[in-house]
Amino acid sequence: MNRAVFLDRDGVLNDAIVKNGKPYPPASLQELRIAEDVLPALQALKKQGFLLLGATNQPDVARGKTARSWVETINSALMEELPLDEIRVCYHDDSDNCDCRKPAPGLILQAAKNHNVDLQQSFMIGDRWKDITAGKKAGCRAIWINRNYDERQPDDADAIVTSLGHAADWILNM
């Protein structure tokens, strides 16, 4: 079985756009920013044999605020720049009650099944409580990147860090 690192998108793989303390996805390719430590962190994890699997909620599609094609454009740009194996997306809103919208673990469980992943030997890295809860429900260890958003914080993260680079270091030093 494979080991994997599941990664949220906005705020983890790329910088979130923060407005009034809340994180949002980039609205254009010009707004898409990847922090300097992201590529080396992912390369180090990949070198140690981890699959790198994105898992992102994109409810603005269901809310009519953005097109699905735009989300796919951002994902394609990230796949070109970073050594990711896949990015899975939930396009639903909370009211859809799906099993793929974090904090539900569906995105992680689907990817784990498709890639033959041992969840107990895997990690979820996120910047919001929903990411951490989804990872824990799936059976992963969960690492919270604290971006100081003005919102609920997770209470069950296995580690709290301030960047993806620090999260990768934590995993690699276990």
Q: Is residue 155 annotated as part of the catalytic site, yes or no?
A: no
Task: Name the active-site residue from 10, 60, 127, 131.
Answer: 10
Query: pTM of this prediction?
Result: 0.97
28 pLDDT higher than 90: no
The first and second tokens of residue 9, run together, are 């998108």
* Residue 102's pLDDT band (cuts 50, 70, 90): very high
Task: Name the active-site residue from 8, 60, 127, 131.
Answer: 8
Mean pLDDT of 124-140: 98
Please report, rounded to a whole number, the percentage of residues in the chain having pLDDT higher than 90. 98
Exposed e or buried b per residue across 119-141, where buried means at least 16 C-beta atoms within 10 angstroms of its C-beta: beebbbbbbbbbbbbbbbbbbbb
The first and second tokens of residue 4, run together, are 């994997």
Do 102 and 133 contact (CB within 8 A), yes or no?
yes
**Segments making up each domain of the chain, as ranges:** 4-172
**Fold that domain 4-172 belongs to in CATH:** Rossmann fold (3.40.50)
Mean pLDDT of 25-40: 95
Q: What is the DSSP string of 25-89?
A: --SSGGG----TTHHHHHHHHHHTT-EEEEEEE-TTTTTTSS-HHHHHHHHHHHHHHS--SEEEE
Q: Is residue 8 annotated as part of the catalytic site, yes or no?
A: yes
